[in-house]
Every structure is written in C-alpha cells, then in structure tokens.
Amino acid sequence: MSPDSKPQSPGGSLLRRVADFFVNGNAVVITVLAFVSALVIGAIIVVLATPQATRAWGDLLARPGAALGASARAVAGAYGSLFVGSIGSPGSIARAIASGRASDFANAFRPLSETLVSTTPLMLAGLGIALAFRAGLFDIGGQGQLILGASGATLAGFLLPGLPQAFHLPFAILAGAAFGAAWGFIPGVLKARTGAHEVITSMMMNYIAFNLLTWLLTTELYQAPPRDQTVSKTVAASAHLPLIAGQGLRVNLGIVLAGLIAFGVSWLLRRSTLGFRFRMLGLNREAARVAGVDIELHYVLAMTFAGLLVGLAGAFMILGVDFRLSPSYGGTIGFDAITVAILGRGSPLGVALSALLFGAFDAGGRTMQVNTGIPLQLVEVLQAVLVLFVAAPGVIRTIYRIRVARSGRRVFGGWAG
C-alpha cells in the first residue's frame, strides 16, 4: 500500500459491490428488468384493449387527465385481477384465517391452490428440458413425453384397483416415469447411434405420441364404456395423489414431490459425477471427449432422464387432478416447459421459480378475463415478451444502458449439433 493511499472502509466497499451488482447487471438484475419491461408492454396492450381508455385517449387534447386516469384504472384492474386470481385477495385471506371456517379457507386460498396445481407439471417438465439443455441437447419432445407419462400412469391407475394406496400410488408414478423415459430414450439413441438431430427426432416423436393417444382411446384396454366416448377409464382412488389442503382445494402432494425432485436435480447437476459430465458435455463436447467422457452414452442418459422428468409431469397431472385421459391431453404444457427452462436459465431453482410465475399467469389470467374482459392472450404476450428479453439480454442491456459484467458466465454451453 502506498503512503498516500487510504484504507477503504467496509461500508464503502459494500456500497461499491452493490453498485457494481446493478451497474454490471448480472443474471438476476437482467431477469428482474425483463419482467418489469414485459409488464410495461403488457400495460400498453391493456390500454389498447380497453374501449374506455382508447376513447379517452381520442380526447387527449381536451381532457388529458381523463386519458391518464382511464389508462391507470384499466392497468390496475387487469393486473389486480391477475394478482387476485393467482394469489388471492388479502382481505379474504385475513377474514378466512380469523373465522377459521373450512369453507372460507377454501374460497380464500383457491387461487393460490390453482397456481400450485398449474405449477407442478410445468416445474417437472421444465426440469427435464433444462437437464437436456445442460448436456447440450435441445429436447423438443416434451409434449410427447408428457403424453406417454400420463398414459403409463393412467394404465397403472385403472388396471390394479385393489392395491393399497401405499403400493398403488408409487407404482403408478413409476409407470409414468418409465413411459416418459422410454419416449426420451428413443431420440437419445438415434442421436448417439446415427447422429440424427434431437430437435427433429423429438419433434417427430410428439406427432407419434398424439396419434398413439388417439388410437389408445379407441382400444378396449383404455377406452371407458360406453364405447362411443373417447376418454380413458378412470384412475382408481388408491392411485390418487393425496390432497394437502383439504377437500375444497385441488393442490396435492405433487407440488411437494416436485420441489423435492427439483432439489434432487440440483444435486445431480452440481454434486454428482454424472451431472459434472453433463455440464462438461454441454459446455464443450470435444473437450469432454478428450477428458474421457463417453459422448454417445451421455446423450442417451441425458435424453432418458429428461423424458423421465417430463413423464412425471404427465403422471402427476393424471394422478393429482384429471384422473383420465382425453384427446389432445396436456394442452401445450410440453411446449411451455421449453420457455420455463429458458426463463429459468437452466438452473433448477430458476426453473422452479419460472414455473411458479407461469402457473400464476395461468391461474390469474382466467380471473382477469372474467373480471375485466381483457383477453386471456395478454398473458401469453407477457410470457412471450418476458422470455424474449431473458433469452436476448443484450436488448435489456441496451434499453437500460447496462454494462457487460466483467466476469460473464454462460448459462448454457450451446446445443450440440
């Protein structure tokens, strides 16, 4: 230390670190700013979709205050309904806790329950897609893997109705995981043995799964009587996931198991030899080969594990909420899981949080549409803009004039070609 230099105070050093945290804009700051930016764009769309607000803006020069007031009311109403529909009304929650009545409790916490119900499959499917990402693979086959997982759990759920729940439920969950893993194993083997790109093969597996489900629902094995309806037989009660908040709410043990599985995936990627090899493969395939990693084997393992996790998502949907298969089962959850994985930046914790956000959007969007008339598609716009900003952090850095961090860290090492 030179004679003229002064010792730095701990407080000054802390302030500098905090300033550097925000000025350089690490992943957390970029994600928060992306979320805020998406809300701003959503607010503009709300104003444009609200007739009262657009009429007020037509009279802007005569009554500027009315335009601003109508816009503020429209945005507050839309986002307020989104919050109440996903979390619940604070007043209703307080009254339910004070009254202690089960009916009040169920009504107050139903929005949060529906958010957690929507979060569960998104979290598990997102974890599967993220695990493949970390190994340098882009798994587009989540929808097919989810359908197969649900089909396996359904089959195990209605074939053995006499089993005790302690055996029947785990067996049905394992059946769903096994079916999903098998559906992920196929594109993994094709990638390893023939070099076929996993994007193409897993996408084609989706179409096969769609048509396989349609056929299964016409077979005597799956189809519920009478034979003129295209739904499956109902899963026996002994294979249902137990409710964790009483009969009035649909939230079940699946969300707890999903959280434990997220912790297990985090341990796998961070603490295990297999996870280290997955991450090495994703960062640099040739370096991994030189280090002795069996590239082909780990491609198969990564896609199989990804299919297993997505298959669990389908199993938990069937065993916890739906209890029977129908045509086009699963909606777009398998594809939404890709955006959840990207938004979560491949981290199990990030995937869990982004799944919770998307689950809140799904539950709250319906309430917003009913209360305000704002189309449900606004939620999809918010999701798309949010993922766009997170996937292209340079846009956020340009808008907010954030410098590139000195020690940038890549989230994904790229997708192996």
pLDDT at 19: 53
* H or E segment and range at residue 383: helix 377-391
pTM for this structure? 0.87
Phi, psi angle pair for 243, to nearest 5°: -70, 145
pLDDT at 405: 56
What span, in angstroms and rounded, lies between the C-alpha atoms of 136 and 221? 39
189-198 exposure pattern, b = at least 16 Cβ within 10 A, e = fewer: bbbbeeeebb
Q: Provide DSSP, 69-94.
A: HHHHHHHHHHHHHHHHHHT--HHHHH
| 10-residue stretch averages of pLDDT, the chain, 417 residues long | 53 58 64 85 86 82 82 89 90 88 88 94 96 94 96 94 92 97 96 93 95 93 84 94 90 96 95 94 91 94 97 96 92 90 90 93 86 80 80 80 59 43
Give, in degrees to the nearest 5, the angle at Cα 58 between 53 and 60: 90
pLDDT at 249: 92
pLDDT at 26: 65
Helix 142-159 vs helix 198-216: crossing angle, to nearest 10: 30
Q: What is the pLDDT of residues 107-137, one digit of tens each?
A: 899 999 999 999 999 999 999 999 999 999 9
pLDDT at 147: 96
Count of CB atoms within 10 A of residue 320's CB? 24
